[in-house]
Amino acid sequence: MRWIMLGLLAVAGGLAYQVLDSGEGAARTAGPSVKPQPQVVAAGDSYFLALDRRGRVFGWGGAARGWSDSQLLSQSRRPRLLLDGEGYTQVSAGSQAIYALHSSGTLWRWGMGDVQDAAAANALPKPLPVGPDQRWKRLIETWGVGVGIRADGSLWYWQDDDLEEQARLQPVVLTLRAPRRLMPGTRFVDACLQGPRLHAIDDAGRLWRTLDLHGRAGGKGPFQGERTGMQALSAPARLQHVYCRGNAGQVLALDEDGRLHGYGFSSFGELGVGEPDRAGDPGDLNTGELQPIPGGPWATAAVSHSFSLAIARDGSLWGWGRNMDQELGLGDDTRSSAYEPVLADDSRRWLAVAAMYGTGLALAESGELFAWGGNGNGALGDGGVARTHDRPTAVLTDERFGAFP
């Protein structure tokens, strides 16, 4: 009966969308602002993670071990309790490992191989603490590169391969044996990894980037030497958050007034600034002027290959870029792409959003998760019953998700 009711709610949400003006690129100011919770959901290459209100890690979809084929994290193709422990406040869906930040500020790690083996046995792998005497506020792993911002604002990176080698010896704790600090003396507030390229925002609101932190093109190939020099990008306002990921050519940044800015590729309009154009290569340190994205004011955003998603401060959900797999969640609007932000849903107040290739995920204020787009590896969390969902549709679970108190 619960699934029937959730289905009716999803249909009702879709009907509500049909009577809305698309509001393409329109600014919205009505209603109280939401308090976003961007770090309680995360997207890997083909899997999603979400924290419930007890700070436990749930997951579904498929994850690869190294360069092998993806394996299902949930045989039911619905969210399952994936990892041991609770009290986590942030989760990172990495390529080689899953990182979680505990409410104590400590970093915990699960190797992807252990996660896959435990999922196949319907067990819960235990995490290993990483440098338990250190306190962190932001953690990411992509393509074997780990990045963290410590509680004091210092920015560090390391090779996750070293942690993986330690984990094979079954220690009690893992040690960051050779972390490297970037820009000593500067305090940072947010960071993201675009493959081996780091983007980070300092406490003055400036956006910085490096070219290559691990010296391997695309995560494989010959060693080329790390290029860690950081360059500041020109921004018209004081920035607070940055959004990027390994398979996305666009980079977005949110300023303190709720305006989004971006640079990078825009083959399908994923930059949100109008007609598709190769506006600038994020790997070219000679380019990268941030362009204003219409609409907002915005609360949070997410990017993936060829499309972007965002939540406005009024809690409404928007998307732009590629829509060939219905990854924008526009329902009956069957356009193949959108070049500026288009309203997907304002029947609920949304708090967090994540994106992987062809699929979107969002957390509603009620604690429910909704997904849309393609259903590869059960990414929609609907039990594998649909090939696609063209609008936000309830993920099949009795859990409630959101920030740990």
Please work out, in degrees rounded to the nearest 5, the angle formed at the alpha carbon of residue 235 by the alpha carbons of 252 and 249: 30
**pLDDT at residue 283 tops 50:** no
Closest Cα partner for 88 from 68, 109, 69, 67? 109
| DSSP strands (E only) in 226-345 | 231-233, 239-243, 250-255, 260-264, 291-293, 298-304, 307-312, 317-322, 337-345
Closest Cα partner for 328 from 289, 394, 369, 372? 372
**pLDDT at residue 34 tops 70:** yes
Residues 71-121 have pLDDT tens digits of 899 999 999 999 999 999 999 999 999 999 999 999 999 999 999 999 989
With cut-offs at 50, 70 and 90, classify the pLDDT of residue 23. low
**Residues 6 or more apart from 227 whose CB is under 8 A from it?**
210, 211, 212, 215
Neighbours of 150 (CB within 10 A): 19
Neighbours of 185 (CB within 10 A): 6
What distance in Å separates the CA atoms of residue 319 and residue 313, rounded to the nearest whole number? 14
Q: Cβ(290)–Cβ(207) under 8 Å? A: yes
pLDDT value at residue 277: 64
**pLDDT at residue 371 tops 90:** yes
**pLDDT at residue 8 tops 60:** no
Q: With H, G, I as helix, E, B as strand and everything else as coil, classify residue 216.
A: strand
* Average of per-residue pLDDT values in the chain: 87
**pLDDT at residue 37 tops 60:** yes
pLDDT value at residue 265: 87
Give the fold, CATH level 3, of 2-394: Methylamine Dehydrogenase; Chain H (2.130.10)
Reported pTM: 0.89
Neighbours of 380 (CB within 10 A): 31
**pLDDT at residue 45 tops 50:** yes
